[in-house]
Amino acid sequence: MSVYAGIDIGSRTSKGLILDDQNNTQWLIIDTEPAIEATARKLLAKVLEKAHLTQSDITHTVATGYGRVVVSFADSVTEITCHAKGAVFFDPAVRSLLDVGGQDSKAIRCNETGKVLAFALNEKCAAGTGRYLERIAETIGLPVDQIGPLSLQCTQPVTISSVCAVFAENEIISFLRDGKPLADILAGACQATVRRQLTLLRRVGAGTEGKLMFCGGVAKNIGVVKLLEKEMGVTVSIAPEPQIVGAMGAALIARDRARAGQKGQQVATTR
Amino acid sequence: MITLGIDAGTKATKAVLTNHTGTLASVVLPCGRESTVTIADLARRDVLAKAGLSPESVTNIGVTGLYGDRVSFATNTFPEGVCLAKAMGYMKPSVHSVLDVGSVRALAIKCQDGRLTSISVNDRCASGTGAFVEVLASFFRVPIAELGNVALTAKEPVDFLNTCAVYVESEALSLMVEGKTAENIIAGALRGFSSRILSLLMSIGVEPDIAMVGGLANNKALVKNIEESLGLSLFIPEEPQTALAFGAALLAQGKE
């Protein structure tokens, strides 16, 4: 029994995925704790338990995400590489992707094997990231997963002029005081999020060829998805679980490396 | 002539009563959920009571600040930079550069003989405004007024990498897990902050003497960082928070 493990340590959540030679998977998402190595070990233990496997069944492990270098028991591969690999696995027609996570966002263009051709990253500023929407949800007093569905009920989206997540909060408090409908405020927030992403997407020439995949936690926000589709003029591709695309790519790379190790040569990702 | 100056800011409303001798009284009222005009009116009553004067004794009311235009009972509205220049011209004419760091915007001006000659504003990014410090204070549960004192006790300020005010919390948390002390983290964060607000001042050119106003001018660690970077002492008025309101009151003196 050979399985391969991919771990994606994000700022908010950590994703673990186990893959076998027949492309069966088992995965889990947990909150990232400040002690990163401990989070990675806990994550792996839990997903092994879910798969009814043990540590010794794992042939090779790859870690990615901002905490990857701290994970001593795995190879470290960049998120950019892993996300591209994972994206074309889930949808072979994908040639560009947008990943919006808890604290950063990235736009990537790739070829049919998932090889990265161009990428752009924002990790300095919370504007347009999951944290931006989280703060807005906190300010309004709603669970984050309600932002999307509620925003679709808007009649007239407000315009949030602040790019900054902190100042946007002040604007939203003003809107709430002025009695603006929640749906309109949330639609404004989703709009502001998409505006930030468009800059990144343009920079890499995303959406010009093949399909565009949207991944990361924010891809679960239907309001943001619909606005992105409207702005890009395309239907976006979304994986069954958008948050695990990176971990999927990491597991695929782990499998490639294990097979290359056995055969003594480079092997492209096979299905 | 007795005049009243009101600075309607985001976090606090400041009111200063003046006559030809200078300041008669001043108040700083924190803002809550009430409307701007309500709290401005409260500030007016408070400062009059403090000075033992009646509302009728006030000839002109000058207003400034982000929400100044909502203070309907004012007789004149003045831009913030103009108020700041006027206040400096009165308090310390040798000052030619001023930094004013508020909650949601930071301001740097150059002035000469009480007149504004140059201005630069940051209201785009919270990492260069008081909001950054508020997040820091809130995370460590230290009152903002105490933050500077805590930072001054630090022996080994950390290298605070993130500039974004939103990421302060996660970076501070990681540093704490690594075993860094609160005061070292706070000192490191404030150091990074001081260089950001200083760069706003540099953007219009620094010309001594240099002054700092606004609530954060009370933060001794921040002031120390800035003075060390500049190699100069800063002039800080006795009540740095009411400088703009004072300027508005002075300007209102000149209005019929």
pLDDT in tens, chain B (256 residues): 999 999 999 889 999 999 999 999 999 999 877 788 899 999 999 999 999 999 999 999 999 998 899 899 999 999 999 999 999 999 999 999 999 999 889 999 999 999 999 999 998 889 999 999 999 999 999 999 999 999 999 999 999 887 888 888 888 888 888 889 999 999 999 999 999 999 999 999 999 999 999 999 999 999 999 999 999 999 999 999 999 999 999 999 987 5
Residue type, A237: S
What is the distance between the alpha carbons of residues A63 and A71, in angstroms, rounded to a whole number? 7
Does B253 lie in the same domain as B207? no
What is the distance between the alpha carbons of residues B91 and B76, in angstroms, rounded to a whole number? 22
Does B131 lie in the same domain as B223? yes
Nearest CB to A35; choose among B123, B135, B177: B177
Which residue is it, tokens 């709603």? A142
A to B CB pairs, distance under 8 Å: 44
Whether residues A164 and B33 touch (CB distance < 8 A) is answered with no
Contacts 24+ apart (CB under 8 A), A112-119: A112/A88, A113/A88, A113/A268, A113/A269, A114/A84, A114/A85, A114/A86, A114/A87, A114/A88, A114/A89, A114/A249, A114/A269, A115/A84, A116/A80, A116/A81, A116/A84, A118/A204, A118/A205, A119/A80, A119/A204
Interchain contact B179–A (C-beta under 8 A): no
Whether residues B104 and A132 touch (CB distance < 8 A) is answered with no
Does B74 lie in the same domain as B195? no
Does B117 lie in the same domain as B223? yes
The pLDDT assigned to B204 comes to 93
Asked if residues A19 and A25 have their Cβ atoms less than 8 Å apart, the reply is yes
Closest CA to A83 of A129, A114, A105, A53: A114
Interchain contact A93–B (C-beta under 8 A): no
Into how many domains does chain B fold?
2
With contacts defined as CB-CB under 8 Å, which chain A residues touch B167?
A: 103, 126, 131
Please determine, for the modelled complex, whether the ipTM score is greater than 0.85.
no
Whether residues A11 and B170 touch (CB distance < 8 A) is answered with yes
Whether residues A126 and B164 touch (CB distance < 8 A) is answered with yes
Whether residues A177 and B166 touch (CB distance < 8 A) is answered with no
Measured at the alpha carbon of residue B65, what is the angle toward residues B64 and B68, in degrees to the nearest 5? 65
The pLDDT assigned to A271 comes to 45
Counting every residue written for chain A, the total comes to: 271
Does B232 lie in the same domain as B124? yes
Mean pLDDT of A94-107: 94
Does B164 lie in the same domain as B86? no
Dihedral sign (CA A147, A152, A153, A159): positive
**Residue A137 φ then ψ, to 5°:** -60, -40
Does B73 lie in the same domain as B168? no
Whether residues A34 and B135 touch (CB distance < 8 A) is answered with no
Closest CA to B43 of B15, B64, B63: B15
Does B98 lie in the same domain as B77? no
> What pTM did the predictor assign?
0.80
Does B28 lie in the same domain as B139? no
- List the structure tokens of B183: 């005061």
Which residue is it, tokens 């933060």? B219
Nearest CB to A126; choose among B104, B131, B167: B167
Q: Which of A145-149, A176-180, A193-197, B67-71 has the lowest mean pLDDT?
A: A176-180
Between A150 and A173, the more confident residue is: A150
For A:195-254, CB contacts with B below 8 A are none
Does B223 lie in the same domain as B97? yes
Dihedral sign (CA B182, B143, B12, A180): positive
With contacts defined as CB-CB under 8 Å, which chain B residues touch A178?
A: none
With contacts defined as CB-CB under 8 Å, which chain B residues touch A165?
A: 126, 165-166
What is the distance between the alpha carbons of residues B74 and A196, in angstroms, rounded to a whole number? 40
Upstream peptide bond of B41 is cis (omega within 30 degrees of 0)? no
β-strands A25-31, B106-112 pairing: unpaired
The pLDDT assigned to A269 comes to 47
The pLDDT assigned to A232 comes to 93
Alpha helices (runs of H) in chain B, residue ranges in sequence order: 36-51, 80-91, 130-140, 144-152, 168-177, 182-202, 220-230, 243-253
Closest CA to A241 of A216, A205, A271: A216
Asked if residues B27 and B47 have their Cβ atoms less than 8 Å apart, the reply is yes
The pLDDT assigned to B256 comes to 58
Does B255 lie in the same domain as B231? no
Domain coverage including residue B159: 93-236
What is the distance between the alpha carbons of residues A153 and A105, in angstroms, rounded to a whole number? 26
Closest CA to B243 of B214, B219, B218: B214
Between A179 and A253, the more confident residue is: A253
Label residue A266 exposed, middle or buried (CB < 10 Å: 0-12, 13-18, 19+): exposed
CATH number at residue B60: 3.30.420.40
With contacts defined as CB-CB under 8 Å, which chain B residues touch A167?
A: 104, 123-124, 126, 131
User: How many other CB atoms are there within 10 angstroms of residue A268's CB atom?
Assistant: 9
Domains of chain A as residue ranges with CATH: 1-91+243-271 (3.30.420.40), 93-238 (3.30.420.40)
Give the chain B residue nearest A12 (alpha carbons): B170
A267 pLDDT higher than 80 = no
- Distance in Å, alpha carbon of A11 to nearest chain B alpha carbon: 8
Asked if residues B80 and B107 have their Cβ atoms less than 8 Å apart, the reply is yes
Interchain contact A125–B (C-beta under 8 A): yes
Does B256 lie in the same domain as B153? no
Which residue is it, tokens 């950001």? B196
A266 pLDDT higher than 50 = no
The pLDDT assigned to A193 comes to 92
What is the distance between the alpha carbons of residues A170 and B192, in angstroms, rounded to a whole number? 24
